[in-house]
Amino acid sequence: MKAVFYTNEYPPNIYGGAGVAVSCLSRELAKLMQVEVRCFGDQDVNTPRLKARGYRPCGEIAKDAAPGVAKALEAVSINLQFCKNNTADVVHCHTWYTNLGGFFTKILHRIPLIITTHSLEPHRPWKREQLGTAYDLSCWIERNALEAADAIIAVSEGMKRDIIDCFGLPPAKVHVIHNGIDIHRFKKTASTDALNTWKVDSKTPYVLFVGRVTRQKGIIHLVDAIEHIDPRAQIVLCAGAPDTKELAAEMAAKVKAIQARRGGVIWIQKMVSIQELTELYSNAAVFCCPSIYEPFGLINLEAMACETAVVASAVGGIKEVVVPGETGFLVPFKPKADGTFNPADPRRFSKDLARNINKLLGDPALARRMGKKGRRRVERFFSWETVAKKTAALYKALVAANRRANH
């Protein structure tokens, strides 16, 4: 069997959890079958069982484009290149950026289309700040592709419910396969080189955030929580790639204001290497994930794999990863009355984050016990080997059904 992946992100161009998932899953699946990856960029990987090629936008397609339209047109042009030929038995798409190419490939080459939903556009209305009217196009592409797909992989039970609620699709079409983690790369280390690089005091406990500067990740709520966190602790915000200039400015202003009131607030404004990230996770007293929307929450697994206790918002797939009272604490998250993905009382949510963080800062022994249990949970349930086997079984069933239908 051969599978082809369509993806925006692929090493070295990774900026989010979807890219990490594609990288790890394609590598593990290559142990079971031939895998080809078509991605955005200039990648060129050619190994016996795994090949990857990057694609660039066609010519001057975005020349003279209206504001906010260029990026969407470039994405569509790459999708058209993705589907021009095919030697695979299944096409597997990741995020709306590649769904159009998968839809065309299903029709043109008569192979099953599988889509992994790492998030849903209707549940990310703040993307309009970044995409403008192109957000309407991304929503349209996602809906049509999901309706046409032969199978949809939801990364959590919560995501499956969201897919069914948003698009009215039959439950049998949606398969839950949790994301995984490379337990050999993410494991506790005593090294503190990264702490020295970023001027983090290794002798003083710190709270860690890792993620993009985006509304979805809730980082603004964590920054607002800092004034309520034990002032003896450091706060390390490993946060780059802001969605918009406006959000970047809002974040900068809030961080500057809190830094003026207390010391020990360190903002790392870039996406760091895996080695640095592992060191930051391993030495943290607490990891905080304040996301307001999180279909799975891979960063929580990364922290748990490094034996760090987690404080996270009780949303989406996070509730299937973090076991409250055992591997960390979950903070109740009440959306606004209109159902939008923002807390009804932002100040209360921030204070609740701080209160649970302070519990762990004040009880290092509890934090260590939770960290140990987190690592055991990751090893048992979330290895990429397990994810790849489940994904390969789904491919096999779809290919068999497709052959029966076409013969």
Q: Residues spanned by CATH 3.40.50.2000 within the chain?
A: 2-180+383-406, 193-381
Output the DSSP codes for 30-83.
Answer: TTTSEEEEEEES--EEE-SSEEEEEE---TTTTTTPPTTTHHHHHHHHHHHHHT
Task: Answer yes or no: are the C-beta atoms of 180 and 24 closer than 8 Å.
Answer: yes
pLDDT band at 342 (very low <50, low <70, confident <90, very high): confident
- Residue 38 pLDDT more than 90? yes
Q: What's the pLDDT score for residue 340?
A: 72
pLDDT for residue 34 is more than 90: yes
Given a cut of 90, whether residue 85 has pLDDT beyond it is yes
Q: Binning pLDDT at 50, 70 and 90, where does residue 80 land?
A: very high
pLDDT tens across 253-307, in order?
999 999 999 999 999 998 899 999 999 999 999 999 999 988 888 999 999 999 9
Report the pLDDT averaged over residues 223-242. Answer: 96
pLDDT at 68: 76
pTM of the model: 0.79
Percentage of residues of the chain with pLDDT beyond 70: 100
The yes-or-no verdict on residue 4 having pLDDT over 90 is yes
Tell me, what's the pLDDT at 124? 83
2 DSSP β-pair partners = 34
Instruction: Decide: 129 and 99 in contact? Cβ < 8 Å.
Output: no
27 versus 130: the higher-pLDDT residue is 27
How far is residue 208's CA from residue 306's CA, in Å, rounded to a whole number?
13
The model's confidence at residue 66, banded by pLDDT at 50, 70 and 90, is: confident
Among 131, 125, 168, 171, smallest CA distance to 151 is for 171
**pLDDT in the model for residue 295:** 85
- Which residue has tokens 């918002």? 313
The answer to whether residue 208 scores a pLDDT higher than 80 is yes
Amino acid 341: pLDDT: 72
* Mean pLDDT within 373-378: 97
Among 140, 152, 133, 4, residue whose Cα is nearest residue 71? 133
Which residues neighbour 263 within 8 Å (Cβ) at sequence distance 6 or greater? Answer: none
d(CA 190, CA 210): 19
Structure-model confidence comparison of residues 300 and 16, the more confident one: 300
Query: Which CATH number is 2-180+383-406 given?
Result: 3.40.50.2000
Mean pLDDT of 17-44: 95
Per-residue confidence at 395, pLDDT binned at 50, 70, 90? very high
Provide the residue type at 341 as one letter: F
Over the stretch 181-190, which tens digit does the pLDDT of each residue have? 999 999 999 9
Max avg pLDDT among 64-68, 215-219, 228-232: 228-232
Topology (CATH) of 193-381:
Rossmann fold (3.40.50)
Other Cβ atoms less than 10 A from the Cβ of 62: the count is 15
Amino acid 288: pLDDT? 98
Distance of alpha carbon 407 from alpha carbon 400, whole angstroms: 11
